[in-house]
Amino acid sequence: MRRVVFNQKGGVGKSTITCNLAALAAQAGQRTLVIDLDPQGNTSRYLLGETADAEHAGAPGAAGFFESTLKFSMRAPRTTDFVVTTPFENLHVMPAGAALDELHGKLESRYKIYKLRDALQELDEVYDEIWIDTPPALNFYTRSALIAAQGCLIPFDCDDFSRRALYGLLEAVSEIQADHNNELVVEGIVVNQFQPRASLPQRTVQELIDEGLPVLQPYLSASVKIKESHEQARPMIHLDPKHKVTLEFSGLYEALTKPKGRGKKRT
């Protein structure tokens, strides 16, 4: 299964959600790959810690993969050559790098938009689950991820700005579905930083549900423990398996792996 975590808004928890769900998949025995397409590299640092720099990790990472698509070679490198291991069993990552920014224009002008999809279809034989973290923009890398993925998760923080942006996000996904990837399914909206005692988050989320949007449960609570998890470069299942947020992530992963937890394709 190939999933993309997508939102054009920054600071909504894309990297945190990607890494923690992928870590749960790996913990469950699934051969799991995380692809970091955000030049900021937060996902790479979360999973690799001090070795997050792709050069220090011993592989060119995502930038190296995309750069290879711009060159013709009789002996093209394998996609797995751009993947590195993490300290966690069954969990690998294709790390991001600042060079992604430099390559963006070349890749877009030469229409390499399907290269990631082709590579990940080959990696389906190597990995049970592939998770893709995207930059906070609907750019070449995000579109490549949406074209390559089978499922899409949309993080949502509970405010009016996020709600207004949500409809645009869903339209963007619908356009990708119609023009490039009719297998893509919006599996659900992931409610992040939820405060159950505040009336605004409760009302906002309920309105989404009333509109028939695929809001996933459980919601993810706001917690300082997540910041500790980032600092220590250890996803919650490895930092504190019994913490409330860990259990919420576990419940969310369980919902995704059950057929009834999947959303419907929007048309």
Residue 74 confidence class, pLDDT cut points 50, 70, 90: low
Q: How confident is the model at residue 58 (pLDDT cuts 50, 70, 90)?
A: low
In the chain, % helix, strand, coil (3-state, to 5) comes to 50, 15, 35
The C-alpha atoms of residue 116 and residue 93 are separated, in whole angstroms, by 15
> Which of 202, 153, 152, 212 lies closest to 177, judged by CA?
152
The confidence score (pLDDT) of residue 247 equals 98
pLDDT digits over 88-133, tens only?
A: 999 999 999 889 999 999 999 999 999 999 999 999 999 999 999 9
pLDDT at 36 over 50: yes
Instruction: Quick: pLDDT tens for 124-160.
Output: 999 999 999 999 999 999 999 999 999 999 999 887 7
- Return d(Cα 113, Cα 79) in angstroms, integer: 16
CA distance 70 to 92: 24
Count of the separate structural domains present in the chain? 1
Q: Is it the case that residue 57 has pLDDT exceeding 60?
A: no
Is the residue at 77 inside a domain? yes
Query: Is residue 197 classed as helix, strand or coil in its secondary structure?
Result: coil
Alpha-carbon dihedral sign for residues 246, 248, 251, 252: negative
Report the pLDDT value the prediction gives residue 111, as an integer from 0 to 100.
Answer: 93
Give me the domain span that covers residue 195: 2-261
117 falls within a domain: yes
What's the pLDDT band for 201 if we cut at 50, 70, 90?
Answer: confident
Instruction: Classify residue 266: in a domain, yes or no.
Output: no
- The answer to whether the beta carbons of residues 234 and 46 sit under 8 Å apart is no
CATH number for the domain harbouring residue 55:
3.40.50.300
Classify residue 60: in a domain, yes or no: yes
pLDDT, position 261: 37
Question: pLDDT class for 15, splitting at 50, 70, 90?
Answer: very high
What confidence score (pLDDT) does residue 50 get?
78
Asked whether residue 267 is domain-assigned, the answer is no
Q: Report the chain's terminal Cα–Cα distance, integer Å.
A: 22
Tell me the pLDDT band of 59, cut-offs 50, 70 and 90: low
Of 64-73, 128-137, 157-166, 197-206, which one has max mean pLDDT?
A: 128-137
pLDDT value at residue 200:
83
Contact 57, 94 (CB under 8 A): no
Residue 195: its pLDDT value, please?
85
Measured CA to CA, the distance from residue 211 to residue 231 in angstroms comes to 38
Ranking 29-38, 201-210, 238-247 by mean pLDDT, the lowest is: 201-210
